[in-house]
Amino acid sequence: MVSALLVALALAGQAPSADSADAESEKAQQKKWNAYYVKVAADYEITRGENGKRKLELEPEAVLHWSNPVREGETNGSVFVWTYQGRAEVVGTVFSYLVRGEANLKVMAHSFQSLSQEPLAGQRPGQPGAWSLSGAGIQPRPIPGAPPPAATAAGRLTQMRDLSREFSATTTLDDVEQELRLLTQPLHRQAKSTDEVLDGALFTFVTGTDPELMLVIEARPTEGSDKPVWHYAAGRFTDLTLKLRHK
């Protein structure tokens, strides 16, 4: 489930020059954009539950800075995670791209994916673009053939990385299917165990470094048993046709 907000901003004089040979200048300019993305993300207030009283916490740093060399135009952004009791409940990106034929015009876009089992609501006080989601954003399912979760946190992290490699993903554009690349370093690791989830991590599949699909791997109890079992859930992070395969 994805909620997106598009805002056009005229940023004259701030867009990096595509013809510039000065790599250091472009790097410095991108750092300014990254800092701006952080500021925008920090403006959001996201709450969990029907009454909207449980506020999510934004991780203080972006979990990924990305660019997409395949899509037309200069596109880059940063990915952020909002948590509740240490678990990732929302993953979102703030990004920008140049408008064709307009050297000093960038479009800012905000896109979110719920990783929660609860209703969510988001807003930027004093800004347009409030949104709400009435149901769960993902559907956790047991991973076939997965081993029992290890007794230690380090052991479980190794298991989650191994389990993530069992999955593959593709996007399709103009009838051409493209294999996505898994980032084996998780974007986020659950900070502590909860009643619902013993342990968990958020992985992503990318084009270049642009995230297209979010993969949640968690140790959750199953119906009829109090013993945790490894589960997976997929979250769309692209507007393209998307496929996820296990083994």
Domain coordinates of the chain in residue numbers?
Answer: 2-133, 141-246
pLDDT tens for 185-236 read 999 999 999 888 999 999 999 999 999 999 999 999 887 777 899 999 999 9
Reported as a single tens digit per residue, the pLDDT across 114-152 is 999 999 999 998 888 789 999 999 999 999 999 999 999
DSSP-derived letter for residue 1 is: -
Inter-residue contact 130 to 121 (CB < 8 Å): yes
Q: With a cut of 50, say whether residue 13 has pLDDT above it.
A: no
Task: Decide: 184 and 201 in contact? Cβ < 8 Å.
Answer: no
pLDDT digits (tens, 9 = 90+) for 47-81: 998 887 899 999 999 999 998 866 666 688 999 99
In this structure, what token pair is assigned to residue 150?
A: 């290890």
SS3 9: strand
Give per-residue pLDDT as tens, 173-187. 999 999 999 999 999
The pTM for the full model equals 0.87
CA-based nearest residue to 15, from 72, 113, 99, 124 = 99
Does position 20 have pLDDT exceeding 60, yes or no? no
Concatenated DSSP letters of 42-86: HT-EEEESTT--EE-EE-SS-SEEEE-SSSSS-EEEEEEEEEETT
Radius of gyration of the chain (CA): 19
Q: Is 80 exceeded by the pLDDT of residue 17? A: no
Contact 220, 119 (CB under 8 A): no
31-39: average pLDDT: 93
